[in-house]
Chain A
Amino acid sequence: MADLSTNFLGIQSPNPFWLASAPPTDKQYNVERAFEAGWGGVVWKTLGEAGPPVVNVNGPRYGAIHGADRRLLGLNNIELITDRDLEVNLREMTETKKNWPDRVIIASLMVPCEEHAWKAILKRVEETGCDGVELNFGCPHGMSERGMGSAVGQVPEYIEMVARWCKENTDLPVIVKLTPNITDIRKPAEAAKRGGADAVSLINTINSITAIDLDSFAPEPTIDGKGSHGGYCGPAVKPIALSMVSEIARNPDTHGLPISGIGGITTWRDAAEFIALGCGTVQVCTAAMTYGFHIVQEMIAGLSNYMDEKGYASVEDFRGAAVPNVTDWQYLNLNYVTKARIDQDLCIKCGRCHIACEDTSHQAITHLVDGVRHFEVIDAECVGCNLCVNVCPVENCITMEQIAGIDPRTGKPADADYANWTTHPNNPAVREAAE
């Protein structure tokens, strides 16, 4: 069986599966249940500075979007950082770490942008025996209105400054949690690195309104007829998270910076994808909040099975393996020609491929052949776009296959050699260079 243990910033974890800083990690009771279930670590729900704790709304905190059969696809929340007394949290963190020495506890922190505030909280959390700190520069709701959370994460200079304060005031590993509510994710990551942060974690939640109630005309979740944008997470955000992680992983200025991946991770496969993009650990929240802590057993077994099948002894064996394959559009091989192929034995004749192609794309799939309902790709029209593959309800019924020889659509031979946009004759930059 593969070894799932990880060493992230010198922090040993029995597996890469951590619970993200969120409601599931707000109390010793929850965290110990998580450890019993098998989670490798937790990032404790974000602590604020000493004094009267923040308060939460007393109406609904979550909104959601659902797929078929009310499967939860996206969750949004307007909950703030922990609303429990700092001393209670610190005491419980200490006890939990004592009870579970082989598991990871990271303290998530969010205090005002003043050095003394960070210094003060760092001193306190060091006493708990926790393994590291995560700076919450991500939460997009509530705290951001008070100059914290994503208000910091959206200004690279602040990120750098606070990261530096923290590195100067503690020996604990410092992880900077990034907000996705920004144009270019590389900038805050670079700033974190400049400030001396040991790692980044991403993504935090995305600004969102899940729905508008069409009777009350209020956003959801609705508090007494009003709503505020919340932070969006869950399976729906995974593609956004993967892209942002990949940008940091392949950016020369941040390449090699340790990453803890977050964003819609629900199964072992999601986790493995983040690891393949370079993440040393992954953090999970929505899946646990939807199904409970037991899901980690599926993740452990699934990842282990995958690694055994591939012959990977540890996650390091494939960590980052996908990073070299993330490139710019301009470097994609324009001589790679594919056509859709429909497996007639698997086809259930729903016709979705046809209508998607007919109405919205390239008119490249038949509906009738000799008067009989039959769906077949017309190679002379097919641009290889993959839409039919995506809308087909039957897995592997439609596949994209590379063709050799003449492309019936263009009448030109598919060149076996690699060629991209940078050298394409239609590229104005190329034409200028030729003049």
Chain B
Amino acid sequence: MSVERRSGTISAGRLSAEQLRENFCDLHPPMNPHEAAVEADRCYFCYDAPCMNACPTGIDIPLFIRQIAADNPNGAAKTIFDANIFGAMCARVCPTETLCEEVCVREVAEDQPVRIGMLQRYATDHLMETTTEHPFKRAAETGKRVAVVGAGPAGLSCAHRLSMHGHTVTVFEARQKPGGLNEYGIATYKATDDIAQAEVQWLLGIGGITIETDKALGRDIHLRDLTADYDAVFLGMGLAGVNALTAEGADSAGSSDAVGWIADLRQTTDLSQVPVGNRVVVIGGGMTAVDAAVQAKNLGADEVTIAYRRGKEAMSASGYEQEVAATRGVHLRYNLQPKRIHAENGDVTGITFEKTASDANGKLSATGEEVTLEADQIFKAIGQSFVPDSVAAEGAALTLDGGRIAVDDERKTSMDKVWAGGDCIAGGEDLTVVAVEDGKIAAESIHAALSA
């Protein structure tokens, strides 16, 4: 078998094109109209619905599901987009099992929540496929100009809402394409058919928004200039840094950051050209670790292990994500803390972990017992961090909190005319849907300030 020949190396083309296509197809094929009708009928149209309260963007979920049930999927989509302009992507990447679906009363009643995420996808896909007209109208021009830094979910959500209010927005994006993590940070099988770009283009349909790519804050543009040139600034540049691994040998060839690899995978046009190890170890416990591990398996790696330093319950990847990984053949191991990466001739050959244990207070300690896994490729997925260099010139004017930008309830920073949202701000969960809400709240605050 061809896999044997390539074992022990990091190489491309482990699987046939057909197998790759199958492995990277849509994680959840969209519902057809009949499935959607049946599922929509399950919704009880709860009063003050728990699902709606659990949604960071506060989508009127019972209403949109009722609209699907009443054969008005585009109306349902409008209800979703009213609250969350990234409704299509959120339908794909939201951890619904820990948000809306977790509190669905049918989850309480029968351990079987209404599949809200899938219904949301049904409605939003339907609107985007059946209409060319953008569903929102831009208010009359206000003559106000706002700069948005970062064309990710936070920035574009903010830009769209500002445009609705009639302001003119310029979005500066450091990368070559807009979309942020939707474009660069999500597993390929969760965002098929170039949905991230399609959604950005659809969102821009409102008009009044210009995106300038290859414009990084601190390099090509500067916050002080933006505050001088624009009526307001929104910072939504995410987390550019990757946490470093402190294990010995961490810089060996074959050891890399999962974030970069996931981004490369998303940008490749030919999956058979993406190299992957035969025995892959992913260090970490979040969605990034799962996305990297599952895709390594999908590319044809023989053995893929996720090693997480805490217990299963502490893992930030949801139970559902863990299940997806396990179902795809990823081995999940807990309480393993990386100690040494082994290499021969500079190439990774394995990794030694030390077992950990948590005490009654959740404090983690090493037990001294070691475990060594053979590996020819290691991905680090141990978190990302905000890189303050981009705003270093502003110094103390922009207050940070725990290494990220400090904001108030309206997402206003300590700097005059500057708001921020998304992963780059302190507090909150690093989720697409939270970033969208940040952008929306900031836009309303900016609009109020500009209208004053």
A69 to chain B, nearest CB (A): 5
Task: Tell me the complex Cα distance, A300–B265, Å.
Answer: 63
Q: Which of B42, B47, B106 contacts A367 (CB 8 A)?
A: B47
Task: Tell me the complex Cα distance, A225–B45, Å.
Answer: 36
Task: Tell me the complex Cα distance, A351–B49, Å.
Answer: 8
Interface residue count for B (Cβ, 8 Å)? 15
Residue-by-residue, is B31-58 near A (CB-CB < 8 Å gives 1, otherwise 0)? 0000001100110111111100000000
Residue-by-residue, is A62-101 near B (CB-CB < 8 Å gives 1, otherwise 0)? 0000001110000000000000000000000000000000
- For residue A167, CB closer than 8 A to chain B, the reply is no
Task: Tell me the complex Cα distance, A349–B104, Å.
Answer: 10
Knowing A348-B105, A349-B105 are in contact, say whether A393-B41 is a contact too (CB < 8 A).
no
> Are B47 and A354 in contact (CB-based, < 8 A)?
yes
Knowing A68-B41, A69-B38, A69-B41 are in contact, say whether A348-B48 is a contact too (CB < 8 A).
no
Residue-by-residue, is A337-357 near B (CB-CB < 8 Å gives 1, otherwise 0)? 000000000001111101100
Q: Count contacts between A and B, CB distance < 8 Å.
A: 36
Residue-by-residue, is A263-286 near B (CB-CB < 8 Å gives 1, otherwise 0)? 000000000000000000000000
Task: Tell me the complex Cα distance, A268–B37, Å.
Answer: 29
Q: A355 contacts which chain B residues (CB < 8 A)? A: 47
- For residue A394, CB closer than 8 A to chain B, the reply is yes
Task: Tell me the complex Cα distance, A373–B108, Å.
Answer: 14
Knowing A69-B38, A394-B109 are in contact, say whether A352-B48 is a contact too (CB < 8 A).
no
> Are A352 and B47 in contact (CB-based, < 8 A)?
yes
Q: B41 contacts which chain A residues (CB < 8 A)? A: 68-69
B8 to chain A, nearest CB (A): 54
Give A30-88 interface residues, CB cut-off 8 Å to B. 68-70
Q: B108 contacts which chain A residues (CB < 8 A)? A: 348-349
Task: Tell me the complex Cα distance, A77–B342, Å.
Answer: 79
A12 to chain B, nearest CB (A): 44
> Are A350 and B38 in contact (CB-based, < 8 A)?
no
How extensive is the interface on chain A, given as a class? 10 to 19
B371 to chain A, nearest CB (A): 45
> Are A351 and B47 in contact (CB-based, < 8 A)?
yes
A395 to chain B, nearest CB (A): 11
Knowing A348-B106, A348-B108, A349-B105 are in contact, say whether A393-B44 is a contact too (CB < 8 A).
yes
Task: Tell me the complex Cα distance, A367–B50, Å.
Answer: 12
Knowing A348-B105, A348-B108, A348-B109 are in contact, say whether A373-B50 is a contact too (CB < 8 A).
yes
Task: Tell me the complex Cα distance, A354–B46, Å.
Answer: 10
Task: Tell me the complex Cα distance, A250–B45, Å.
Answer: 41
Task: Tell me the complex Cα distance, A39–B225, Å.
Answer: 87
Task: Tell me the complex Cα distance, A393–B110, Å.
Answer: 12
Task: Tell me the complex Cα distance, A238–B341, Å.
Answer: 75
Task: Tell me the complex Cα distance, A352–B109, Å.
Answer: 14
Given contacts A350-B44, A351-B47, A367-B48, 17 further A-B contacts (CB under 8 A): A69-B38, A69-B41, A348-B105, A348-B106, A348-B109, A349-B46, A349-B108, A351-B48, A351-B49, A352-B45, A352-B46, A352-B47, A355-B47, A367-B47, A373-B48, A393-B44, A394-B109
Q: Can you identify 16 A-B contacts, CB atoms within 8 angstroms? A: A68-B38, A68-B42, A69-B37, A70-B37, A348-B106, A348-B108, A350-B105, A351-B47, A351-B48, A352-B44, A352-B46, A355-B47, A367-B47, A367-B48, A373-B48, A394-B109
